[in-house]
Structure 1
Amino acid sequence: MNLLSSFRVTQEPLFKQVANTVEKMIHDGVLRPGERTPSLRAVCDQHGVSMSTAVQAFVELESRGLVEPRHKSGFFVKAPPKVIMDLPGPPRVPMSGSLGNRHASLFDAVVAGNVIALGGAVPSPEILPTAKLNRMLSEKARNAGARGVMYDLPPGSEMLRRQISKRMTKGGAVVAPADIITTCGATEALMLCLRAVTKPGDVVAVETPTYFGILHVLEALALRALEIPTDARTGLRLDVLESVLKNQPVNACIVLPAFSNPLGASMPDDAKQRLVGMLKAREIPLIEDDVFGELPFGPKRGRTCKSFDDSGLVLFCSSFSKTLAPGYRVGWVVPGRYYHAVRIAKLTHTMATATLPELAIASFLADGGYDHWLRSARAIYKMNVMRMRRAILEEFPAGTTVTTPQGGFLVWVTMPVTVNALELYDRALAKGISIAPGQLFSLEPRYANCIRISCGEPWSPRIEGAVRTLGSLAKRQVK
């Protein structure tokens, strides 16, 4: 049904139907305050109405206070009346129901410009080398020619893969550029790996608590999560995993051995080697998520699980989202023996990774002082984590504990059992603060009194005040 026929099935005058359509565009944000509306001629052509009907429609919109005429320029959307308080309303998607709903709800809060974003594991652009990266992106756009607008089909940019290959030696893994496939961030890398090594209904062992994005991917692929307890300092409990493997089938395992999300746990190198050997003996693929691996607080990073892999069973995933540019969406995977399956999955999933962001990051790694930048970022995050831990322990209810990560920028807060994290989330959001409630990080009814806090924003009185407000809200739930 076209717009014209949809208008004329109602009894309302045509000019009001046109006005209602434009009003909806304004309310939906398609037309924003200060923007010019479609011209009268465009309205006539689009809706199949006469010029007099179009004029009546805009007179109606003007009477509703939605548009204003400007001499010889047409009609423009009026700015709404200024409100005294600019606090966010509830998220568009409720923090209830499926894991996908909860995931979407959290990011609704994170992207709201007037929210203090302590909920998302996203580094602040104020900390990232934003200006330098964007200059490099502009330079690539000017000089790439036709290459810049064409698909960069898998395996992706050869220049970037060579730089990644060099970086991976710092974690002990010797990987050829030909072994690497670039991806649209680490989440896509994880999804491609799971598609390559599992089928619907398979069992995947994961840490608990674990990054909710992993659980969401498992849900989307109809895979069953087997949650293995995790130590807050040393990561996955290998004794529990070994016991589980003796008693039931497991088709794959996902770990975050370096400064895990949400705990910030760091698996010792000997434990990584033991894990790789344990799974190799049973021919179980290991998917290693290393997105925080480049952010240790110490002088050097630990080894990767991939560095102990001599059978091709370890599928290594990472990205530049936590270190350089979340919005560039550039990640990579080293799929080992599953290379061809992952490459085919990439072709059918997103076909290619964006060319210009790949080239910009490759240039930054080659010429932009990446190691120098990382040293600066690590120092900032280490100080942020220290300040955040101190503030939480001072402001939150007695009995609250906070993890002590040795890298990354996340802390896990466990409050008294009477504090409900979802209720705290709602009340905090009403105050303009986002947090990540613990219920997101498991498919089981766990972690109801826990929250994940990001330390990815520069420390400021505003952040300090937000922690004080969170502590006050949490104290109200203590009985």
Structure 2
Amino acid sequence: MGILYNQVADQLQGLIHEGVYRDGERLPGVRQLSRQFGVSISTILQAHQTLEARGFLQARERSGYFVRLPTVDAPEPVMRRHRSRPVPVSAREMALDLCADEQKRMVPLATAIPHPDYLPLRQIQHSTLWAARRGLETLDYAFPGKESFRRQIAQRMATLGVPVTPDDVLATNGAQEAIILALRAVTQPGDIVAVESPSFPGILQALEVVGLKVIEIPTHPSEGLSLEGLQLALEQWPLKACVVVTNHSNPMGAQMSDERKKQLVSMLAAAAVPLIEDDIYGDLHHTGDRPKPAKAFDRADNVIYCSSFSKTISPGLRLGWMVPGRHMASARQHKYFVNLATSSIPQMAVAHFLEQGGYDRYLRSARQHYREATERMRTAVARAFPEGTAVSRPQGGFVLWVQLPDGVSGTEVYHRARAEDINVAPGLMFSTADKYDNCLRLNSANPWSERIEHAVARLGVLAHDVQSAAR
């Protein structure tokens, strides 16, 4: 019997290698396989267990067995230590091109937007219809935010160790507006602001909108912002703010430990430099408990907390919030002058979704989807890309930072991929200087398919071609 189930396991493994059963697909049921191979159900189950031990299958409770190709590992990117000087910010045209490309039928590996299959569409549609029937409640400006929405946010913040009242919360049009309002509340045009390097392009664009200069601080792919680098910047330059994605940063996926968050908060409070915290990926941790925000360690009211539901519920809702603390009056004033208020119906719909418990139920499945998706993408990149390629190992979120071997231009790979309708984010977008040319950011938040698999393999071929041409 032992020989028999090993034979079945070998045959199934061969079918997986041949692409009959693809990575992420569910195997046929045990009864069907029993008939197909002419063996007992117990033999099929033993074969499944053997393939699971080999790393080719993953059992999911009440769902069956799914193909999961063994991980091919790649090293993490290295943290680049560099001396920076404050410079004006100029958003790159390619960032706008990438947003426009998302409307085309390109393979969507560039922008950090979840595929609709990973979003709670049915639930949020139900809540939106519920909100739309509220009549006059939907027609007011709802400044500084619908009370029901701000109350739900206050309740969630309390679970993160940040006790606030609804009056402490300001509703915004996404986290992007929250960051811009925070910057306007604590800076003047021409001031210097510290950011992670590489940094999310949206943060760089926010700095440009406000007319600020930026100094880039080296960032470790796992540990996050270099506190040593930040300390040097504090000693050398008159910083007016520091913007950090503390949990599962974009693009590297770094998560600062609680101890490093405490040090960050303490360091900036001692220097009287406000910390603007972007926690948009905090709810998307892959395993374990939800990481605390830096705001949970703020004893000096020096942290302005910003977040949104764009990465979890829907990017199209454009619904975020901020907890400005002592800067509330200034943030409210800038919000009122810019667009008066955030739309009422999305606030009411999300408040209803949260109150009914749908959000937490959704997050449990979303976290598993994103963990599996990033692992699968990371393995595919390690297989297809040139030797010496390094890939980040995020513990949350759904983006990967790919560092190509020296001399291989990620920008050139981007241009060649775009010509073949494959959309990726080149590393140059994530810095104000000409850094990270040999890097790419990939969005993993897509159901695995033949189209995605082919696109990643094709990116590997293009990277090999660029490497050969550079020699």
Q: Work out whether the TM-score is over 0.5.
A: yes
1:170 touches 1:301 (CA, 8 Å); kept in 2?
no
> Which residue of structure 1 lines up, in the alignment, with residue 213 of structure 2?
224
- Cα distance, 1:429 vs structure 2: 1.4
Q: What is the aligned counterpart of 1:437 among 426, 434, 446?
A: 426
- Cα distance, 1:299 vs structure 2: 2.2
Q: What is the aligned counterpart of 1:347 among 332, 336, 339?
A: 336
Which structure has the greater CA radius of gyration?
1
> Which residue of structure 2 lines up, in the alignment, with residue 457 of structure 1?
446
Q: What is the aligned counterpart of 2:135 among 119, 131, 145?
A: 145
1:179 touches 1:334 (CA, 8 Å); kept in 2?
yes
The residue matched to 1:413 in structure 2 has which SS?
Answer: strand
Mapped to 2, the partners of 1:355 and 1:327 lie a distance apart of 14
Q: What is the aligned counterpart of 2:271 among 245, 264, 282?
A: 282
Mapped to 2, the partners of 1:417 and 1:446 lie a distance apart of 12
State the AA in 1 paired with 2:199: T
Give the ranges of 4+ consecutive aligned residues of structure 1 lying more than 6 Å apart after TM superposition: none
State the AA in 2 paired with 1:249: P
Mapped to 2, the partners of 1:224 and 1:111 lie a distance apart of 32
Where do 1:129-208 residues align within 5 Å?
Answer: 129-141=120-132, 143-154=133-144, 156-208=145-197
1:203 touches 1:249 (CA, 8 Å); kept in 2?
yes
- Cα distance, 1:128 vs structure 2: 0.3
State the AA in 2 paired with 1:150: D
> Which residue of structure 1 lines up, in the alignment, with residue 111 of structure 2?
120
Mapped to 1, the partners of 2:134 and 2:361 lie a distance apart of 27
Q: What is the aligned counterpart of 1:104 among 68, 91, 96?
A: 96
Mapped to 2, the partners of 1:472 and 1:246 lie a distance apart of 46
2:424 touches 2:441 (CA, 8 Å); kept in 1?
yes
What is the Cα-based RMSD across aligned positions, in Å? 1.2
> Which residue of structure 2 lines up, in the alignment, with residue 14 of structure 1?
none
State the AA in 1 paired with 2:345: L
- Cα distance, 1:100 vs structure 2: 4.7
Task: Spell out, residue by residue over 1:363-412, the C-alpha distance to the aligned partner (whole angstroms, 9 max, x if none).
Answer: 11111421111010000000001000000000011110100000000110
Q: How many residues are aligned here?
A: 380
Where do 1:76-115 residues align within 5 Å?
Answer: 98-112=90-104, 114-115=105-106
- Cα distance, 1:111 vs structure 2: 2.2
Identify the range of structure 1 (260-269 vs 301-310) with the bigger mean alpha-carbon deviation. 301-310
Mapped to 2, the partners of 1:174 and 1:369 lie a distance apart of 23
Matched, 1:334 2:323: yes
- Cα distance, 1:346 vs structure 2: 0.4
The residue matched to 2:137 in structure 1 has which SS?
Answer: helix
Mapped to 2, the partners of 1:312 and 1:98 lie a distance apart of 31
Where do 1:230-379 residues align within 5 Å?
Answer: 230-379=219-368
Q: Kindly tell me: are residues 100 and 151 of structure 1, through their superposed partners in 2, closer, same or farther at Cα, counting changes over 3 Å? A: farther
1:253 touches 1:287 (CA, 8 Å); kept in 2?
yes
State the AA in 1 paired with 2:253: G
Identify the range of structure 1 (341-350 vs 419-428) with the bigger mean alpha-carbon deviation. 419-428
Mapped to 1, the partners of 2:139 and 2:166 lie a distance apart of 23
> Which residue of structure 2 lines up, in the alignment, with residue 211 of structure 1?
200
> Which residue of structure 2 lines up, in the alignment, with residue 16 of structure 1?
none
Mapped to 1, the partners of 2:313 and 2:158 lie a distance apart of 19
Identify the range of structure 1 (171-180 vs 196-205) with the bigger mean alpha-carbon deviation. 171-180
State the AA in 1 paired with 2:164: V
- Cα distance, 1:98 vs structure 2: 4.8
Mapped to 2, the partners of 1:340 and 1:316 lie a distance apart of 15
State the AA in 1 paired with 2:346: P
1:103 touches 1:213 (CA, 8 Å); kept in 2?
no
Mapped to 2, the partners of 1:463 and 1:172 lie a distance apart of 39
- Cα distance, 1:243 vs structure 2: 2.0
- Cα distance, 1:147 vs structure 2: 2.2
Task: Spell out, residue by residue over 1:123-151, the C-alpha distance to the aligned partner (whole angstroms, 9 max, x if none).
Answer: 1111101121012111211x211221321
The residue matched to 1:476 in structure 2 has which SS?
Answer: helix
- Cα distance, 1:102 vs structure 2: 2.4
Mapped to 2, the partners of 1:239 and 1:170 lie a distance apart of 31
Query: Which structure 2 segments of 5+ residues have no match?
Result: 1-88
Q: Kindly tell me: are residues 245 and 98 of structure 1, through their superposed partners in 2, closer, same or farther at Cα, counting changes over 3 Å? A: closer
The residue matched to 2:306 in structure 1 has which SS?
Answer: strand
The residue matched to 1:126 in structure 2 has which SS?
Answer: helix
Identify the range of structure 1 (165-174 vs 219-228) with the bigger mean alpha-carbon deviation. 165-174
2:92 touches 2:429 (CA, 8 Å); kept in 1?
no
- Cα distance, 1:417 vs structure 2: 2.1
TM-score of the superposition, structure 1-length normalised? 0.78
Query: Which structure 1 segments of 5+ residues have no match?
Result: 1-96
Matched, 1:469 2:458: yes
- Cα distance, 1:418 vs structure 2: 2.3
Paired-residue identity, %: 44
Q: Kindly tell me: are residues 352 and 256 of structure 1, through their superposed partners in 2, closer, same or farther at Cα, counting changes over 3 Å? A: same
Mapped to 2, the partners of 1:414 and 1:106 lie a distance apart of 20
Task: Spell out, residue by residue over 1:153-177, the C-alpha distance to the aligned partner (whole angstroms, 9 max, x if none).
Answer: 11x0111111111212232211211
Mapped to 2, the partners of 1:332 and 1:130 lie a distance apart of 21
State the AA in 2 paired with 1:124: H
> Which residue of structure 1 lines up, in the alignment, with residue 388 of structure 2?
399
